[in-house]
């Protein structure tokens, strides 16, 4: 598994790179996890409805090819893109969603925060507030796109949309939920470790 730490890059640049990687990879291509942040942007999933985009203002909107509705990306939010050969790991899409959600739940538990996924609305929630969102695409048996985990960010742009298609959905951050200081870079590495450990524990990977 190759880890790429890409810093802050425009959404469309990373999206094009994910598509190219997926189209060009072969059966022996090494899987990759990309860790990055984006400048402010709203992204609308394939099933996205225009009515959920309320007042974007000066923030650009990108119609993308992941699943789900509209969400916001911006500084202070860690994004991890999972470029995996699902056949190699014998993972279905639901398995991958569960793996991502449980990785985030376990990380939050280590920070003393109770969190849980919701079957009716993929992502991870602290109480009724969403702290991490998911959106995936599978092409040629391989996944791309991934997760967005709110660490210490300006939440105002979420008020300009119905987050993930839910009117009035509350959104929160790790810093808002934590009783102590948060080291964003350390959290990113914890998240990568959680994801890697679950992928590597998958029986198909060990065979």
How far is the C-alpha of 206 from the C-alpha of 187, rounded, in Å? 27
Query: Could you report the per-residue pLDDT of 159-171, keeping only the tens digit for each?
Result: 999 998 889 899 9
- Residue 207 belongs to some domain of the structure: no
Angle between helix axes 93-110 and 184-201 (nearest 10 degrees) is 140
Q: Which of 7-11, 19-23, 162-166 shows the lowest mean pLDDT across its residues?
A: 162-166
Query: What mean pLDDT, rounded, does the chain reach?
Result: 94
**How high is the pLDDT of residue 205?**
45
Q: What is the mean pLDDT of residues 137-166?
A: 95
**How high is the pLDDT of residue 72?**
97
- Residue 171 belongs to some domain of the structure: yes
Q: How many domains does the chain have?
A: 1
- Residue 9 belongs to some domain of the structure: yes
Those residues with Cβ within 8 angstroms of residue 51's Cβ, 6 or more apart along the chain or in another chain: 162
Q: Report percent pLDDT > 70 for the chain.
A: 97
Q: What is the mean pLDDT of residues 189-197?
A: 97
Q: What is the mean pLDDT of residues 138-144?
A: 95
Query: Could you report the per-residue pLDDT of 70-88, keeping only the tens digit for each?
Result: 999 999 999 999 999 999 9
| DSSP three-state, residue 75 | coil
The string of DSSP letters for 84-130 reads -BHHHHT--HHHHHHHHHHHHHHHHHHTT---EE-TTS-SEEETTEE
Q: What is the mean pLDDT of residues 168-181?
A: 94
177 given a catalytic annotation: no
Q: Which domain holds residue 159?
A: 2-202
**142, 164, 175, 177: which one is catalytic?**
164
Neighbours of 123 (CB within 10 A): 24
Q: What is the pTM of this model?
A: 0.94
Query: Where residue 203 falls among pLDDT bands split at 50, 70, 90?
Result: low
CATH number for the domain spanning 50: value is 3.30.930.10
């Amino acid at each position: 598994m190759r880890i790429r730490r890409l810093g802050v890059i425009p959404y469309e640049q990373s999206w094009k790179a994910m598509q190219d990687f997926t189209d060009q990879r072969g059966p022996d291509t090494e899987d990759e996890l990309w860790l990055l942040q984006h400048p402010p942007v709203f992204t609308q999933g394939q099933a996205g409805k225009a009515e959920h985009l309320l007042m974007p203002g000066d923030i650009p909107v990108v119609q993308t090819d992941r699943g789900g509705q509209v969400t916001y990306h911006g500084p202070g939010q860690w994004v991890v893109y999972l470029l995996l050969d699902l056949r190699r790991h014998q993972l279905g899409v639901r398995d991958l969603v569960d793996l991502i959600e449980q990785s985030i739940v376990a990380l939050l538990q280590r920070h003393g925060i109770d969190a849980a996924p919701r079957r009716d609305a993929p992502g991870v929630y602290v109480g009724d507030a969403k702290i991490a969102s998911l959106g995936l695409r599978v092409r040629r048996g391989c996944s791309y796109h991934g997760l967005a985990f709110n660490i210490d960010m300006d939440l105002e742009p979420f008020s300009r949309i119905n987050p993930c298609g839910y009117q009035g959905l509350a959104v929160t951050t790790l810093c808002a939920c934590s009783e102590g200081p948060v080291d964003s870079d350390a959290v990113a590495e914890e998240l990568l470790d959680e994801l890697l450990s679950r992928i590597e524990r998958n029986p198909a990977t060990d065979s």
